[in-house]
Amino acid sequence: MRKLMWSGLVLSGLLVGCANAPGKQNPGEPQVEQDAAASPSAEAPSPGEAVKPADALPLQVAANPQPQDPINIEGAKVTGDILTLNVSHGGGCAEHTYTLAWDGTFQKNASAAPVANLVMIHNANGDRCKAMKFAELRYDLSPISKTWAAQASKGSGTVELALPGLSAPVSYSF
């Protein structure tokens, strides 16, 4: 059974509108898509609910990670062991993939605090369409805390997360 969605306009007391079935494209009408990573799902946590590492994408640890296709990081926040990134990019004609990578090393900032330099790897799969796409991505930061704990011989600490495109690093305490 198909649900109908109404759209319309009221002019001089008359309702002018039409019904469209979701997922069915009318001739001459552009199809609207939202990235799967940005769309709500039954598995997505509700606001205020803690995100578990199992619900997040893994952080890839690789030597010398390099960015691929253009992507804008609109915002970042850390909640527990999860980094949430709000990103935007052009596209709309192909499925895009996102990977957050880290080279496994720590640098020191001016105040001698450890810094993990992260790289957002966006693969547009050749998509040259011009629609502005948005996604909210969640990544498990536990490889950073485990590496820091092993190197510093401490069970807790704070590491600054630096990402190209962010004006300031994000603090990750564990």
Q: Is residue 140 part of a domain?
A: yes
Enclosing domain of residue 61:
34-39+52-173
Q: For residue 149, what are the contacts with CB-CB under 8 A and spacing of at least 6?
A: 155, 156, 157
pLDDT in tens, the chain (174 residues): 444 444 444 444 444 444 444 444 444 433 333 444 443 333 444 444 555 667 899 999 999 999 999 999 999 999 999 999 999 999 999 999 999 999 999 999 988 899 999 999 999 999 999 999 999 999 999 999 999 999 988 889 999 999 998 989 999 999
Question: Which CATH number fits the domain that encloses residue 167?
Answer: 2.60.40.2370
So what's the pLDDT on residue 39?
34
Question: Any idea which residue has 């949430």 for tokens?
Answer: 84
Q: Is residue 1 part of a domain?
A: no
Three-state secondary structure string covering 42-59: CCCCCCCCCCCHHHCEEC
So what's the pLDDT on residue 110?
87
So what's the pLDDT on residue 14?
47
Q: Is residue 14 part of a domain?
A: no
Q: Strand pairing of 114-123 and 158-162? A: parallel
- Collapse the DSSP code of 142 into the 3-class scheme (helix H, G, I; strand E, B; otherwise coil) and give the result: helix
Q: Is residue 10 part of a domain?
A: no
Q: Strand pairing of 57-58 and 131-140? A: parallel
Question: Any idea which residue has 């002018």 for tokens?
Answer: 16
Q: Is residue 18 part of a domain?
A: no
Q: Is residue 25 part of a domain?
A: no
Question: Any idea which residue has 């898509």 for tokens?
Answer: 33
The answer to whether residues 65 and 103 touch, using CB atoms and an 8 Å cutoff, is yes
Q: Is residue 62 part of a domain?
A: yes
Q: Is residue 138 part of a domain?
A: yes
Question: Any idea which residue has 């369409």 for tokens?
Answer: 129
- The total of structural domains in the chain comes to 1
Question: Any idea which residue has 């804008």 for tokens?
Answer: 72
Token pair recorded at residue 80 = 């527990």
So what's the pLDDT on residue 68?
93
> pTM for the complete prediction?
0.69
So what's the pLDDT on residue 51?
54
So what's the pLDDT on residue 153?
87
User: Which of 83, 88, 69, 80 lies closest to 132, judged by CA?
Assistant: 88
Q: What is the DSSP letter of 60?
A: E
Q: What is the rounded distance in angstroms from the CA atom of residue 78 to the CA atom of residue 63?
A: 24
